[in-house]
């Protein structure tokens, strides 16, 4: 197979969606221990939008290639690579170098794809073979591209929260993390309560298995109805994607419950009533996606159960700006995919 020497790359030349434009870059050459991956599909996360338009990483050099999550085919091996073979379909992991356990500060701040490392909205990417995993064979490229951040964040939250049959899980919204958490929780025999600003989206969430749905636009004090839906006990696990609603999540939590803070779509600040933390002996933990070992365990569960990610829409690379605008509008249900 003869590889190209140049490739398409979607570059952000400023911190704005309108700055996105296609550029030509040289195809990277895999070094010792690396694999060259032909990207087939990528997916967007809220972090990608935050980096692009909210100065989430203001010191990021420009131009940069956005997005962290992708699926692709191994097309070339560097020296000493035995983990994969040419033709394997893989996901590069989001935090490069995080293989198991807890990551170091160095990995979490300097080794994440899509900023500060170059992103995946380009035809090829070279990564260490140790920093990729095989993707489930029953998934499409677009479905597989949704796994590295959204699926693994949901999986890690439920694992850290001690998910078990009979648990009750609260998911906020109907984006990628929330819907993956819904699907994983149902696989484990848990009950799920979903929040959304749309009755239509709540109906779709119930089709995926949600046991109850609450419209937070028409019921802004949703913590009361959440507790009522659990017979007054409260939920065992909250997948906190808003961030700013921590005080409400605490009010909806059961004694000894767990809140996994995974996002900040509602803002970067939250007020926490300390009595709601100390008295009921609850845990609040930030979730920073997950390790390669946890990714591989999640993929085994996805394969065993034939789980399929929820894809909202798919855009060609040339329309990546429209994909970001669609995410910013907040009308999507599930993941937004970009096909390369």
Q: By C-alpha distance, which of 203, 150, 209, 202 is closest to 180?
A: 150
Q: Would you say the CATH fold of 151-286 matches that of 6-146+310-339? A: no
pLDDT tens for the 340 residues of the chain, in order:
567 899 999 999 999 999 999 999 999 999 999 999 999 999 999 999 999 997 678 789 999 999 999 999 999 999 999 999 999 999 999 999 999 998 888 888 889 999 999 999 999 999 999 999 999 999 999 999 999 999 999 999 999 999 999 999 999 999 999 999 999 999 999 999 999 999 999 999 999 999 999 999 999 999 999 999 999 999 999 999 977 889 999 999 999 999 999 976 656 666 777 766 777 889 999 999 999 999 999 999 999 999 999 999 999 999 999 999 999 999 899 999 999 9
Domain boundaries, the chain: 6-146+310-339, 151-286
Euclidean distance between CA atoms 125 and 52, whole angstroms: 20
Instruction: Give φ, ψ of 247 to 5 degrees.
Output: -65, -35
The CATH class for the domain spanning 6-146+310-339 reads alpha beta
Neighbours of 197 (CB within 10 A): 14
Taking CA atoms, 306 is separated from 25, 51, 221, in Å, by: 38, 33, 37
Token pair listed for 63: 């131009």
Tokens of 156: 């890690």
Cβ atoms of 33 and 128 within 8 Å: the answer is: yes
Residue 2: the pLDDT is 60
Residue carrying the six token digits 């996360």: 45
Collapsing DSSP states into helix, strand and coil, what is residue 240? strand
Confidence (pLDDT) at 55:
67
State the fold for domain 151-286: Rossmann fold (3.40.50)
Distance separating alpha carbons of residues 121 and 257, to the nearest angstrom = 39
Instruction: Report residue 54: phi and psi, to 5°.
Output: -115, 10
């Amino acid at each position: 197979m003869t590889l190209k020497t140049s490739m398409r790359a979607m570059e952000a030349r400023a911190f704005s969606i309108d700055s996105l434009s296609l550029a030509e870059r040289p195809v990277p050459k895999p070094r010792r221990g690396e694999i060259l991956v032909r990207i087939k599909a990528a997916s967007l996360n809220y972090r990608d939008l935050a980096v692009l338009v909210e100065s989430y990483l203001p010191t990021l050099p420009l131009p940069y290639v956005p997005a962290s999550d992708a699926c692709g085919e191994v097309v070339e091996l560097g020296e000493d690579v035995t983990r994969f073979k040419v033709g394997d379909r893989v996901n590069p992991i989001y935090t490069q170098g995080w293989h198991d356990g807890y990551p170091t500060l160095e990995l979490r701040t300097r080794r994440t794809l899509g900023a500060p490392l170059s992103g995946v909205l380009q035809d090829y990417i070279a990564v260490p073979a140790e920093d990729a995993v095989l993707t489930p064979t029953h998934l499409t490229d677009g479905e597989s591209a949704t796994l590295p951040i959204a699926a693994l964040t949901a999986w890690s939250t439920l694992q850290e929260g001690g998910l078990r049959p009979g648990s009750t899980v609260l998911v906020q919204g109907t984006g990628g993390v929330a819907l993956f958490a819904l699907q994983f929780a149902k696989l484990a025999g848990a009950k799920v309560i979903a929040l959304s600003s749309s009755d239509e989206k709540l109906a779709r969430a119930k089709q995926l298995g949600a046991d109850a749905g609450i419209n937070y636009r028409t019921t802004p004090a949703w913590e009361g109805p959440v507790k009522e839906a659990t017979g007054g006990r409260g939920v065992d696990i909250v997948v906190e994607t808003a961030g700013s609603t921590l005080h409400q999540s605490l009010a909806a939590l059961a004694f000894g419950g767990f809140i996994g803070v995974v996002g900040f779509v509602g803002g970067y600040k939250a007020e926490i009533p300390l009595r709601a933390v100390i008295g009921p002996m609850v845990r609040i933990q930030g979730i920073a996606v997950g390790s390669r070992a946890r990714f591989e365990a999640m993929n085994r569960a996805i394969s065993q159960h034939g789980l399929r990610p929820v894809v909202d829409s798919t855009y060609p690379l040339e329309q990546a700006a429209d994909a970001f605008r669609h995410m910013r509008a907040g009308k999507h249900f599930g993941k937004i995919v970009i096909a390369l």
